[in-house]
Amino acid sequence: MSIHQRAFNTISAIMAERGPTESAMGDIFDFLLHYRCLLINNTIIQQGDGRVHGGPFAGMILPDPANRMQAPLLLGCYEGELHDVVSAIPAAGYQRLINIGCGEGYYAIGIKRLAPQIEVWAHDINPDAQRNCKQAAALNGVDIHIGGAFDPQQFAMHAGHRTLVWCDIEGAEEVLLDPVLYPALTTMDILVELHPTEDGHTRDRVPARFAQTHDIDIRQPRGYAFDMPGWLRDGSQLNQLLARLEWRGSATPWAMMRARTA
């Protein structure tokens, strides 16, 4: 059965079960949005050979790009609010990168390609993410340290080195990034994505802990005018908008916190 037939059957089942109600139409819209994005994602994979098209990581190979929605990563427009931070890393003098919540290694491997002199530690609690990260590192010919859950006591191991902490752990940043418990953080640059939790939003608590030791720049998600491949640039505006959709369920700004004393 084709992807189009499966989509038609799903919509037909929703209509048959719930009729033309507002909630049913909303679910159909969400489903069709996902369906259209999947088609765009598959086209990007076919056209681009699994390599990142543009942005600071252009040329990087992503493992098994059909495994999930990766259109913004493959196009190179993913999290455009961070592109200037990434582009400045090679000249920033960092010796070490600790990527906590590395996923499949998009940033850990991309930064290692940009700045080979940086020693990279990539951590993720998901064994599948660790395996994919190892595969991606091999595909891109880079050597990084890959491990599971990060023990915050290890921050001390990196004290005395010019270190960037890159943290995206779905709300657990509030537990991990504590300069009172882990004072080595006070001399490290920290880039952290801030997430909602059951107790509120970590944007209201985590940056405040570093106000005395860091200069803090809050970066909101934003659209990014990226270098599109020709087939997408010449197509519909709707496809161009959907291609960069990152499927965020809520506001997740980033805090770039630069230590005043390195």
Interatomic CA distance for residues 222 and 63, integer angstroms: 26
> Are β-strands 254-259 and 214-219 bridged in parallel, bridged antiparallel, or unpaired?
antiparallel
Q: How far apart are CA 221 and CA 101, in angstroms?
A: 19
CA distance 143 to 118: 10
Q: Are 46 and 188 in contact (CB under 8 A)?
A: no
In the chain, % of residues over pLDDT 70: 97
Residue 8 has pLDDT above 70, yes or no: yes
pLDDT (tens digit, 9 = 90+) per residue, 95-121? 999 999 999 999 999 999 999 999 999
Note the pLDDT tens digit of each residue in 134-171: 999 999 999 999 999 999 999 999 999 999 999 999 99
pLDDT bin (cut points 50, 70, 90) of residue 71 is confident
pTM for the model stands at 0.88
SS3 253: coil
The model's confidence at residue 240, banded by pLDDT at 50, 70 and 90, is confident
In sequence order, the β-bridge partners of residue 164 are 97, 189
Which CATH number does the domain 79-227+252-259 belong to among 3.30.420.40, 3.30.1490.20, 3.40.50.150, 3.40.50.300?
A: 3.40.50.150
- What is the pLDDT, as a whole number, of residue 65? 57
Nearest to 145 by CA among 122, 115, 173: 122
- Please say if the pLDDT value at position 225 is more than 70: no
User: pLDDT at residue 81 above 60?
Assistant: yes
**Residues facing residue 97 across a β-bridge:** 120, 164
With beta carbons less than 8 A apart as the criterion, state whether 213 and 179 touch: yes
Q: Tell me how many degrees the CA angle 77-82-87 measures, rounded to the nearest 5.
A: 90
For residue 215, give Cα distances in angstroms to 90, 105, 251, 258: 20, 27, 22, 5
